[in-house]
Amino acid sequence: MTEFTPKIVAFVCNWCAYGGADNAGSQKLEYPAAVKLIRVMCSGRVEPEMVMQAFRQGADGVMVLGCHPGDCHYRNGNMKALRRFRLFSRLLAQFGIHQDRFVFDWVAASEGKKFQTVATRLAAAVQKLGPLSLTGYVRQGEPS
């Protein structure tokens, strides 16, 4: 059996969180290679449906990172994202997806260290949980 390498998708806003990841890079702060970024202009662009799609397409953990409150490049897109993903977390739990597989957080463009911490922490949590089996309660062999 091969060792489980989690796949992690990070939706990041262009202005803060993507910059935070760049900052982690320029400081040469290592984080698990499994963490891969999808850049959007604002965390307010990230739809819960995209996160679901990420899980469905094989991600074992997902994070959505935006600007700190008050720092949004587009005034308050991050606040809309906050409301969306707080509610979304509750929904995930109902669908049987462990809450540790999803993270919503703030990362400023200068916070390379924080990006590294958040990314590493999620990777570790997902490593512990194992692969996400979105087949849910479906057993192989049923209607074929």
What beta strand segments (E) does the chain contain?
Answer: 8-13, 35-40, 61-66, 102-106
Least distance to another protein from the beta carbon of 1, Å? 19
Q: Which is nearer to another protein, 23 or 125 (CB)?
A: 23
The answer to the question of residue 99 lying near another protein (CB under 8 A) is no
89 binds another protein (CB under 8 A): yes
Backbone φ/ψ region at 63: left (φ over 0), alpha (ψ -120 to 50), beta:
beta
Token code pair at residue 44: 């307010």
Q: Is the CB of residue 127 less than 8 Å from the CB of residue 34?
A: no
How far is 32 from 1, CA to CA, in rounded Å?
A: 21
Interaction between residue 68 and another protein (CB under 8 A): no
4, 71, 87, 99: which one contacts another protein (CB under 8 A)?
A: 87
Given 75, 99, 130, 131, the residue binding another protein (CB under 8 A)? 75
Sole residue written with tokens 């390379």: 112
Residues that bind another protein (CB under 8 A): 7, 9, 14, 18-19, 21-22, 24-26, 28-31, 33, 36-42, 44-50, 52-59, 69-70, 73-77, 79-80, 82-84, 86-92, 94-97, 116, 134-139, 142-143
